[in-house]
């Protein structure tokens, strides 16, 4: 379980006082349903949540942090009510390096 907001710089963040982040890993994959439910409840609402593809890239590339098993089938549930940023849009903020 993880949360995402957006790139941490203008012009992507609407409210500069809001502590923006690209992705925060909350818990590893687990069979503990109560731990998962509590982690979901602990997540607040954010209003600058267009960085979903950045978050997906982190989930896919950070195998140990997420807890992916080598021989497992990987399924990601992505939930958002916002639009997304397209590839290369970081250039507006001088972000040109991939992960």
pLDDT cut 70: percent of the chain above it: 58
Which pLDDT does position 77 carry in this prediction?
Answer: 84
Of 61, 67, 57, the C-alpha closest to 26 is: 67
Task: Find the mean pLDDT for residues 74-96.
Answer: 72
Cis (ω within 30 of 0) for the bond into 11?
yes
Q: Over 90: is that where the pLDDT of 35 sits?
A: yes
Rounded CA-CA distance 81/1 in Å is 17
Q: Over 70: is that where the pLDDT of 3 sits?
A: yes
Which pLDDT does position 32 carry in this prediction?
Answer: 94
Rounded CA-CA distance 98/87 in Å is 10
CA distances from 9 to 33, 45, 70, 91 (A): 35, 19, 35, 12
Please enumerate in sequence order all residues whose Cβ is within 8 A of that of 25, keeping only pairs 6 or more positions apart, or say none. Answer: 2, 58, 62, 65, 66
Three-state DSSP class for residue 56: helix
What global pTM score does this model have? 0.56
Comparing 35-39, 54-58, 68-72, 84-88, the range with the smallest average pLDDT is 84-88
CB 23 within 8 A of CB 49: no
């Amino acid at each position: 379980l993880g949360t995402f907001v957006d790139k941490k710089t203008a012009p992507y963040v609407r409210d500069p006082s809001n502590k923006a982040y690209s992705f925060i890993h909350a818990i590893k994959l687990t069979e503990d349903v109560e731990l998962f439910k509590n982690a979901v409840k602990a997540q607040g609402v954010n209003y600058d949540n267009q960085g979903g593809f950045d978050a997906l890239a982190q989930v896919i590339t950070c195998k140990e942090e997420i807890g992916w098993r080598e021989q497992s089938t990987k399924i990601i549930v992505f939930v958002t009510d916002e639009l997304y940023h397209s590839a290369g849009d970081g250039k507006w903020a001088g972000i040109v390096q991939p992960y």
